[in-house]
Amino acid sequence: MMIAGSLVSAQQTPRRLSDSKFAKNYQVSWGSSNTRLMNRGSQLQLLLTNNTGGSGFASKNKYLFGYVSMRIKLVANESAGTVTTFYMPSKDHDEIDFEFLGNTSGQPYIVHTNIFANGTGDREQQIYLWFDPTADFHTYSILWNRRQIILYVDDVPIRVFANKMAELGVPFPLTKPMAVYASLWNGDDWATRGGLEKIKWNKSPFVASFRGFGIDACKWSSSSPRSCTKTRRPPKWWESSMFLVKDEDTTHKLQWVKDNWMIYDYCKDFKRFLRLPPEC
């Protein structure tokens, strides 16, 4: 796929995490018969079939602020109706989402992102990718601190959601610990062309592959619930000054994504909202 526009090299990118074995941080959470652990535990495949359904895994711990990263190779060829996810939810529905919406052969994947706070979402953005996400593994990451959430694709920021609670009263995830999840499931009632394209079960099993499994975040404990919110000296790297504001380099890259790859932004949907959300 040709890259539209130009993108300068990153100057302020998140720390690159070393690969971990799956079992270090994660465990299968559902559909265990539809998982394959490979390469001495360094890669997990999730499968989706008509007979046995989908599958998913979850982190063993919950976290409050930090950085999580996953290398994913998405379902290839006829992926219409399939949904591959990588996301962080809390018990009371704070949530940070990557959802990868499959498509018919030759058509691009859609990356669907959303952010919930205090149970309120409706903050969807959708982009195409500037590469084929089924040909090789690519890195998808979430950086979350008190000031902002940044979603990355291969170290390119595709979305920033800033904490505007003080200025605008917009809810922001600040107090609820989140686990990390990934899954592959049947979403053909909505995922591809609004549900018009259904899963072609004769092409199953559908396979999404995961590597990396990196987590560098504050592990939350019920016995010490404030340990992740107290001020640290020195701060963790994801709390350092360069990640607390949307700097010029990040702003440039976000504009590149917006100009060339964004296909939906809730902040531009005047038909949906009689009054746009205040953060827009």
- 3 state SS of 266: helix
Give me the pLDDT at residue 5, please.
54
Cα torsion through 210, 133, 199, 192, rounded to 10: 120
If you average pLDDT over every residue of the chain, what do you get? 93
Q: Determine the CATH number of domain 22-220+227-268.
A: 2.60.120.200
Q: How far is CA 67 from the centre of its chain?
A: 11
Phi then psi dihedrals of residue 3, to 5 deg: -90, 120
DSSP category for residue 65: E
Q: Say how many C-beta atoms besides its own lie within 10 A of residue 252's C-beta.
A: 12
Residue type for position 89: P
User: Which tokens in the block code for residue 163?
Assistant: 């904490």
Give me the pLDDT at residue 25, please.
97
Q: Are 37 and 44 in contact (CB under 8 A)?
A: yes
> In this model, does residue 9 exceed pLDDT 80?
no
Cα torsion through 15, 18, 20, 25, rounded to 10: -20
* pLDDT (tens digit per residue) in 110-151: 999 999 999 989 999 999 999 999 999 999 999 999 999 999
* pLDDT (tens digit per residue) in 34-47: 999 999 999 999 99
User: Which tokens in the block code for residue 74?
Assistant: 């998405």
Q: How far is CA 225 from the centre of its chain?
A: 25
Give me the pLDDT at residue 231, please.
81
Q: Are 101 and 187 in contact (CB under 8 A)?
A: yes
**174 contacts: CB under 8 Å, gap ≥ 6:** 146, 163, 165, 229
Q: Residue ranges per domain, the chain?
A: 22-220+227-268
- The band of 2, judged by pLDDT with boundaries at 50, 70 and 90, is very low
Give first-to-last CA distance, the chain, whole Å.
31
Active site residue 95: yes
| Interval 78-103 mean pLDDT | 96
pTM of the model: 0.95
Nearest to 251 by CA among 171, 127, 156, 165: 156
Q: Are 140 and 69 in contact (CB under 8 A)?
A: yes
CA distance 165 to 269: 22
Q: Indicate which residue of 78, 99, 197, 279 is catalytic.
A: 99
Give me the pLDDT at residue 23, please.
97
5-44 burial, b at 16+ Cβ within 10 Å, e below that, comes to: eeeeeeeebbeebeebebeebbebbebeebbeeeeeebbb
* pLDDT (tens digit per residue) in 55-75: 999 999 999 999 999 999 999
| Interval 93-118 mean pLDDT | 95
Of residues 10 and 161, more confidence is placed in: 161
Q: Indicate which residue of 78, 95, 197, 279 is catalytic.
A: 95
Give me the pLDDT at residue 224, please.
84
Active site residue 99: yes
CA distance 159 to 142: 10
Percent with pLDDT over 70 in the chain: 96
Q: In the beta sheet, which residues pair with residue 181?
A: 58, 87
> In this model, does residue 10 exceed pLDDT 80?
no
Give me the pLDDT at residue 138, please.
98
